[in-house]
Amino acid sequence: MSAVVASVKNASARPFPIRVYNLTLGILQPGKKIHLDDMLKKARSKSGLKDFGSEVFIEPLEKLLWSVNNEAELNPFGIMVTKIRIVNILDNLLRAEYYFKKHPEILEAELDPITVITGLQRTGTTYLHRSLSSLPGSRAVRSWEALNPAPYANKKNEKEFRLKLAKQSEKGLKYISKEFFAIHPVEHNAPEEEVLLLDTSFISTVAEAIMHVPTFSKWIEKTDHGPAYKQLRRMLQLLQWQNRKKRWVLKTPHHMEFLSFLFKEFPEVKVIQTHRVPEETVASFLSMVYYGRRMFSDRVSLESVRDHWFKKMQRMVEQAMRFREDGQHDAAFLDVYYRDIVGDHEVVLKKVIQHGAWDVAEGETITERQKKNKYGAHSYGLGDFGLTREEVRKGFSGYYERYFSELGDI
């Protein structure tokens, strides 16, 4: 088997069975839509439960489905996967509500101290997350938990069942797009981003990373994210009830844009913000989004990915800088540079541990690290997306000035 090299210049064809599925269903069921009532009905049928508790998720799900049906241009396989994903989220909401009512102590419990790692994509957040979550006493959201945070009450070995489902998802993702998996491995028992827990509110940036949903994306930028962060708390409480340790180690770039909501819900949070010059990160992330969207749509262009996410990444750093400019939360933040993460990682890890005031006993060490190119290589360049180094520096000028002033005039 030849080594995987993920490059937008030479993207491989989809597996033959998926191509046949798309061709056949494209002829038999052209323009098929996804309907809210159908999703709710299927979730209730799947779980055997009826009560969602609060239905604050209905409006964002309606907004999402409008964009999916009118803008995303999903192929039949993409429609099928999107339906499965939505029903699974709704199924988890039903199961979670069942446990919240059966065990009210879940939502009464205080969360253990939280450290959040955030920063632009491809800036070392995954490396830090996996390293820190492997320390004794640290608690990350594992991939199998992010996929199914709520237990299955009707399964005997329900944890093993959820692990099995996650293993199937991991295997399926590798099969659908080995290039995407090379860029962003989603291993069933590895630490995962809590953005997937935020997504159980349907108020998150997950959808725009895997689909072209511009109207929904604009709504996400303007809407109140308070319900999403309250939902994150509830899901963390549910996971903590199942397996409690000393401290939470979370990570997602999503928080960059919504720090005010993060601190409102979790005022004692400690934040590690990672930094890397955008000219080294933009193309890498755009390439990942391209492969992510390409799994589910036949009409994905490099230009559409660039036009949306180049601006989105600028907005993320601008929102983060705006939140931090008054210095009110300075004590909560620790800034870490990618060059130090890869060049002097032991020193960085010690700083992070001190910042979080973690009680780490002598001799306790990191046991898990992110292995580069474990599933293949990733080849990318700004030119792949019609961008230049100068355009990136101009677009992120304020960020360069704030965090990379040593680079001189830009």
pLDDT digits (tens, 9 = 90+) for 96-155: 999 999 999 999 999 999 999 999 999 999 999 999 999 989 999 999 999 999 999 988
- Inform me whether the pLDDT recorded for 410 exceeds 50: no
Q: What is the mean pLDDT of residues 52-59?
A: 96
What pLDDT is recorded for position 125? 94
Mean pLDDT of 69-79: 97
Q: What is the mean pLDDT of residues 343-362?
A: 84
Res 8 pLDDT > 90: no
- Into how many domains does the chain fold? 1
Please work out, in degrees rounded to the nearest 5, the angle formed at the alpha carbon of residue 146 by the alpha carbons of 140 and 152.
Answer: 115
The Cα 229–Cα 56 span in angstroms is 13
pLDDT tens per residue, range 290-337: 999 999 999 999 999 999 999 999 999 999 999 999 999 999 999 999
Task: Count CB atoms within 10 A of the CB of residue 101.
Answer: 12
Q: Report d(CA 7, CA 179) in Å as an integer.
A: 8
Q: Please tell me the predicted confidence (pLDDT) of residue 371.
A: 66
**Residue 3 pLDDT > 50, yes or no?**
yes
Q: Which domain holds residue 50?
A: 5-407
pTM: 0.94
The mean predicted confidence, pLDDT, of the chain is 93
The per-residue b/e assignment along 265-281, b for 16 or more CB within 10 angstroms, e otherwise, is: bbeebbbbbbbbbbbeb
Look at residue 266 in the predicted model and tell me its pLDDT. 99
DSSP 326: T
For the cut 90, the answer to whether the pLDDT of residue 257 exceeds it is: yes
Report strand pairing: 247-251 vs 114-119: parallel
pLDDT surpassing 80 at residue 361: no
Q: Which of 204, 82, 85 is nearest to 147 (CA)?
A: 85
Average pLDDT over residues 325-351: 93
CATH number for position 111: 3.40.50.300
Confidence of residue 30 (pLDDT cuts 50, 70, 90): confident
Output the CA–CA distances (angstroms, integers) from residue 46 to 49, 56, 143, 245, in the order listed.
8, 21, 22, 32
Q: Quick check: 71 and 212 in contact, CB under 8 A?
A: yes
Crossing angle (nearest 10°) for helices 36-47 and 58-70:
120
Using the predicted structure, report yes or no on whether residue 57 has a pLDDT greater than 50.
yes
- 364 pLDDT above the threshold of 50: yes
